[in-house]
Amino acid sequence: MEWRPSGYKLSTQDLVHAIFDKNSDAGKMLVKACYGDIELFAANKSWNAILWLITSTLKVDGKPVYTGPELGKLKASLPIVWRQSA
């Protein structure tokens, strides 16, 4: 049997805290997931909420700071398993 770390499901609210507040409990879990100590799961719809938040609030001269490909790289770099309905 293959060893796997403990897994935790992040809600959309948890995901926002994890990405934008490293001192929150969810932020600390994200760091632990980076080290492979735990496994994190989140719903694809939660990522859509993060996309909306980033593109709506992070703007310079009315234009989003991040491009679509950059946001795709961000998603791929997160130690989160994305599920249809996590």
pLDDT digits (tens, 9 = 90+) for 35-74: 999 999 999 999 999 999 999 999 999 999 999 999 999 9
Confidence (pLDDT) at 1: 52
- Kindly state whether residue 55 falls inside one of the protein's structural domains: yes
- Kindly state whether residue 1 falls inside one of the protein's structural domains: no
- Kindly state whether residue 79 falls inside one of the protein's structural domains: yes
Is there a contact between 69 and 37 (Cβ–Cβ < 8 Å)?
no
- Kindly state whether residue 12 falls inside one of the protein's structural domains: yes
* Residue 17 domain boundaries: 6-83
Q: Which two tokens stand for residue 69?
A: 């490909």
- Kindly state whether residue 43 falls inside one of the protein's structural domains: yes
3-state SS record for 45-86 = HHHHHHHHHHHHHCEECCEECCCHHHHHHHHHHCCEEEECCC
Confidence (pLDDT) at 3: 77
Q: pLDDT per residue over 2-17, tens digit each?
A: 778 899 999 999 999 9
Q: How many domains does the chain have?
A: 1
